[in-house]
Structure 1
Amino acid sequence: MSASGLTMQWTELLDGVARPSDQVLLDDLCLDSRHCGPGSVFVALAGEHGHGLEYLDQALAAGVVGVLHDGQRELPHCPVPAVEVPGLADRLPLLARRFFGSPGDMDLVAVTGTNGKTSVAWLLAQALDAAMLGTLGLGRPGAERPGTHTTPDLLSVYRALAALRAEGHKRVVLEASSHALAQDRLAGLAFSCVVFTGLGHDHLDYHADLEAYFEAKARLFSDYPSNRQIINLDDPHGRQLADRLGDREGVLGYSLTNRPSAARLRPLRLDLAGLEVQARLPGADVILRSPLIGRINLHNIAIVALELYARGLKLAEIQARVAALAPVPGRMQVVADGNGRRAIIDYAHTPDALEQALTSLRELGADRIWCVFGCGGERDRAKRPMMGRVAESLADRVILTDDNPRSENGTAIIREIQAGMRHPERSRVLRNRVDAIRIALAECEPGDLVLIAGKGHETVQWIGDQAHAHSDATVVREALEEVA
């Protein structure tokens, strides 16, 4: 039996969809040939860059017992039963529900937005006593199993939900990436709450332009049933989304400014010990305290508080749950020694996220802010000079380094970052990320803050097609011990 723990005759699976002539007992459904194993049925669909049948040999080698395909490409020689299902892509949610079981009995929350998806999902999962499915993996916060994508393919999503349900989880918070929404990877799901954190410059190597990127995100609010829609009204695309939803029942906005909204937060204290805010919820005011740091986390606290309040929790319980929130790994994560040297590790890898991180740190009263960062290879190139401009304008010292260069020339990536700087000669270039971090921490003074941006929780550095072990947090701890 496969990892799914399920079995079914495919005559039952395909009832009313197709009429297979063979009897096949399957124990998994897979869209990705790399996920197939003995007993699996391989589902081959037309994709953006090819067709699943191109990987039939790999699926057969893995031991699949059957193949479902959409008929859009001629079926090669196939020694196992194969069934053509016209419109297979549209029928996939039905097949997923039949095999993995309907997730309709689960309380699902989905979070989308350029920045903050992972943080909000992690924090909501803690506050709601839920599991999560996203960038940090699958399971309860702090005890996740590793994942492969922010939002995996549709069958993997249903498989993951089935596994969580079998483990006794009743609530799950999912990250909904723009790729996933554009590719219908969440088709057939319904949500108690959907969240929009905001839109920034990213993934324009995939989406035609910023508006196409926004429309992909907006599908979470138009194409999927949901009881509540929590929206960042400080973001112009958030306001556009709220205007589009109009008077729809369940729309809840939040703001850190004076915009009319359902929830408004005003910071009372922001320091390295945490934050204290006055939260104005619909019909109630409450003081919230949290160990999370920086203005960047005010938005996250607003979402958590608003969702807890909408679920009917009393103010004292909301205060307790917010106070108990543990920081998100690799998101405004503080690592310090006893001598006043402090590093902040953050996943900021877009212009907006880098600006928010640096602005948040400036408010914490640092003597100087150092920024160590790079840009990923084979990803949105247009954001590179924008990030250079942000770092130069908001940090006192900038060290440019590698961040998953992949097959690109790392020096060329850094030149594109420097193209956005007025004085690129003032930035320091250290391609080796370990050296860059060590030198920043060796040269900083007590009272400085060193932001190490871009990789966050990641545990590898991609150079070419090789994954090299690397953890910013581990390097920081070792470097602080060296300079102690």
Structure 2
Amino acid sequence: ASLRRFVDAGLRACALEASSIGIDEHRLDGTRVHTAVFTNFTQDHLDYHGSMQAYWQAKTRLFQWPGLAAAVINIDDAKGQALTQLPAVQTLDLWTISCHAPARLQAQSISVGETGLEFDVVEGTQREHLRTRLIGQYNVNNLLGVIAAMRSLGVPLAQAVGACAELVPVPGRMQRLLEAGQPLVAIDYAHTPDALDKALEALRPVARQRQGRLWCVFGCGGDRDPGKRPLMGTAARSADHVLVTSDNPRSEDPQAIIGQILPALAGHASLHQQADRALAIASAIMSAADADVILVAGKGHEDYQEVAGQKRPFSDLAQARAALARRRSAAQGVAA
């Protein structure tokens, strides 16, 4: 129905996320796909697929789609390199992308700051400079994927890069609250070990530039793959301060979920736990120094928290803004 509305509105192309579950459940059957894009492959959805092999097989079906014309593949990911070797892929208009290795489309001279990142996009002898409000190494790969997809549709490189320069951060995806004299707070949907690791990696140079410390507030969802929980703890170890809290506990005991995360953080120099997510966010913001950076991870854009079978109104963004306002008021009271 949505695609029909796009056609009726005169649009000729759209981008959609082809989830492994959607592919496996045949939700995309009958949809004509011109270009398939591969960004990365990490542990997720094992509560559905049962194994990494089954998950991978579902992913690769997109690159063997009837009528597929082009493929964009991130070869900085080991599975991406393997994907390029599939016989079906080698018959396509193949766009390899990389920040490190020779590829059809490359990112060079990458620079990251608290307000965004910039880099050169190189295709053969062509070079275009891109400055964007997005941050994080993973977004360099994502932007390369977008540009390569547009190139596969015949969009000139300069035009594709120019379009990406106009992009604004998606709500709940590395959404930053930046105020003078306050810690920088980033709200992100990162809820897998790889995503959490990449979010912290993205914010580490920002904390370094601010000469502050890096905080991580996160939890794990209930009624989902429990094997992911210690891996999330391992990913969070790179933060200077870690505060483990609830996510969407669903039918599980939040404290029990936290208990499955904590062993992976044993020995961390600054480890805290608070099952109440609102209190956890407030605690981090009130405890942080002005120069610090706080990642609130796991729920991103969600406006609810699922607890004991109920979806209760809850927003990480709203909680962070309220805590920053209290911190600001407290500072003004001291100054007075």
Shift of 1:172: 2.0
4+ runs deviating over 4 angstroms: none
Aligned to 1:363: 205
Aligned to 2:220: 375
Aligned to 2:79: 237
Structure 1 residues 54-453: aligned runs within 5 Å: 159-245=1-87, 247-258=90-101, 260-364=102-206, 365=208, 366=210, 367-392=212-237, 394-423=238-267, 426-453=270-297
Q: 2:309 aligns with which of 452, 462, 465?
A: 465
Shift of 1:424: 6.3
**Contact residue 292 and residue 327 of structure 1 kept, 8 A:** yes
Instruction: Give the unaligned 5+ runs of structure 2.
Output: 329-336
Q: Deviations over 1:382-423 (max 9, x none)?
A: 01001101112x101011111000001111100111122232
Shift of 1:181: 1.0
**Contact residue 187 and residue 297 of structure 2 kept, 8 A:** yes
| Cα distance in 1 for residues equivalent to 2:307 and 2:51 | 28
Q: Deviations over 1:293-342 (max 9, x none)?
A: 12221111111222233333334323321211111111111112221321
Instruction: Give the unaligned 5+ runs of structure 1.
Output: 1-158
Letter in 1 for 2:98: S
TM-score, length basis structure 1: 0.64
| Cα distance in 2 for residues equivalent to 1:315 and 1:263 | 10
Letter in 1 for 2:261: I
| Cα distance in 1 for residues equivalent to 2:255 and 2:268 | 14
| Cα distance in 2 for residues equivalent to 1:188 and 1:308 | 22
Deviates more, 1:206-215 or 1:408-417: 206-215
Letter in 1 for 2:288: C
**Contact residue 35 and residue 152 of structure 2 kept, 8 A:** no
How many aligned positions are there? 324
Q: Deviations over 1:90-146 (max 9, x none)?
A: xxxxxxxxxxxxxxxxxxxxxxxxxxxxxxxxxxxxxxxxxxxxxxxxxxxxxxxxx
Letter in 2 for 1:296: Y
Letter in 2 for 1:265: A
| Cα distance in 2 for residues equivalent to 1:372 and 1:467 | 21
Shift of 1:464: 1.1
Q: Deviations over 1:267-311 (max 9, x none)?
A: 432101211101112442221111111222111111122223333
Shift of 1:168: 4.2
Letter in 1 for 2:131: R
Shift of 1:461: 0.3
| Cα distance in 1 for residues equivalent to 2:154 and 2:3 | 25
**Contact residue 178 and residue 217 of structure 1 kept, 8 A:** yes
Shift of 1:187: 0.6
Secondary structure of 2:69's partner? strand
**Contact residue 244 and residue 275 of structure 2 kept, 8 A:** yes
Q: Which structure carries more helix by proportion?
A: 2
Greater Rg, structure 1 or structure 2? 1
Letter in 1 for 2:184: R
TM-score, length basis structure 2: 0.92
Shift of 1:427: 2.0
| Cα distance in 1 for residues equivalent to 2:110 and 2:220 | 35
**Contact residue 267 and residue 275 of structure 1 kept, 8 A:** no
